[in-house]
Amino acid sequence: MIDLGRLRALHAVATYGSVGSAAEALGYTPSAVSQQLAKLERETRTVLIEKRGRGIVLTDAAQQLAGTASQVLQLVENAELTLEEQRGQAIGSLAIAAFPTAARGLLPAVLPRLIDENPALDVSVIETDPFEAVAAVARGEIQIGIVHDWHNTPLAIPEELSRVKLGSDPADVLVSASHRLAGKEFVRADDLVGERWICQPAGSICYEWLIRTMRKAGVEPDVAYSIAEYQTQLALLARGIGRGPLPDGVIAIPLQPAPSRRLYVVWRTATSRRPAIAATLTALKAGWASRDTA
């Protein structure tokens, strides 16, 4: 009988294209994935991998087996969903992907309630950009994604995913207290022409929003500091180099017209009947509502 864990390893390599990427997705070491593949070769008496340069490629037989593995893993997931649904309890593992400010500003109030009310549920959190979160949920690696998009930078949601809107979050421009715009009641995009920006790296949804917003004003923004972590951005601003409580020396100025990002929760539609999904959605909605009234 073919071991399910080895099939999962093969499927991950076929999906991500390398042992290293598959290991990262599965939470294993690359050597552990390689060992699983080697054992699967012995188990099936079939050559599944071939060396090419410093990496490996899957043989035709491996690609066919990976296709079968995908079907088997789907059947196993359906069986687990059915058992959990029959029990009527949120059990098993549930991974949540969230962008940084949601991980810091929303989840600390949500997770204790979710865990206390569902002690049999093993919850984990991964911090990542909305683009990556949606892809991970679609692949089945993550069960819940907390994501955001903007009117001028919509986030594509695959057909197999469901989503529910949590609410909207207004955006401000952050400047140092010594900045020329610090005393203004609000600013427009035209006021920001010629400024140097601290922003998330290229490819992130916030970066795409900035690029499109400034290009609409007729300029190409000068992103001088590419910083993924928001707290680092704030620390730089506080020193005059370039959400949550702002440090001394940083001022938030509203933009006009006021942009806002829309926050959503996404999950695979096929898992909607899972009690763990319903419990998580309930906790997130309650957490967002309490945040609005706090």
Q: What is the DSSP string of 59-71?
A: -HHHHHHHHHHHH
The β-bridge relationship of strands 121-127 and 92-98 is: parallel
Same domain as 103, residue 230: no
pTM of the predicted model as reported, rounded to 2 decimal places: 0.68
Same domain as 273, residue 156: yes
Same domain as 279, residue 161: yes
Which residues are CB-neighbours of 159 under 8 A, at least 6 positions away? none
pLDDT at 248: 77
What domain range is 219 assigned to?
Answer: 172-258
Angle at 190 between CA 189 and CA 196, to 5 degrees: 75
Instruction: Report the half-sphere exposure of 37 (CA within 13 A, side-chain side).
Output: 31
Q: Name the β-bridge partners of 124.
A: 95
How far, CA to CA in Å, does 19 sit from each of 30, 74, 107, 144?
A: 6, 22, 32, 25
Closest CA to 16 of 61, 72, 50, 66: 66
In the chain, the number of structural domains is 3
Token pair, residue 282, equals: 């309930």
Q: How far apart are CA 145 and CA 116, in angstroms?
A: 21
pLDDT at 157: 92
Q: Out of 63, 85, 107, pick the residue that ends a domain.
A: 85
Q: Out of 85, 116, 135, pick the residue that ends a domain.
A: 85
User: Residue 185 belongs to a domain with what CATH number?
Assistant: 3.40.190.290
Same domain as 182, residue 68: no
pLDDT at 293: 46
pLDDT at 292: 52
pLDDT at 24: 77
- What distance separates the 2 farthest-apart alpha carbons in the chain? 73
The mean predicted confidence, pLDDT, of the chain is: 86
Q: How far apart are the first and last CA of the chain?
A: 56
Same domain as 178, residue 193: yes
Same domain as 274, residue 146: yes
Closest CA to 237 of 258, 253, 215, 218: 253
Residue 190 per-residue DSSP state:
G
Same domain as 102, residue 216: no
User: Residue 17 belongs to a domain with what CATH number?
Assistant: 1.10.10.10
Same domain as 276, residue 154: yes
Q: Count of CB atoms within 10 A of residue 259's CB?
A: 18
Closest CA to 211 of 220, 200, 224: 220
Q: Out of 85, 112, 143, pick the residue that ends a domain.
A: 85
pLDDT at 38: 92
Q: How far apart are CA 134 and CA 98, in angstroms?
A: 10
pLDDT at 294: 42
At 127 the three-state DSSP class reads strand
Same domain as 253, residue 177: yes
Same domain as 197, residue 156: no
Same domain as 13, residue 79: yes
**pLDDT under 50 in the chain at which residues?**
242, 293-294
**Phi, psi values for residue 63, rounded to 5°:** -65, -40
Same domain as 113, residue 73: no
How many H helices and E strands in the chain?
10, 11
Under a CB-based contact definition with an 8 Å cutoff, are residues 227 and 236 in contact? yes
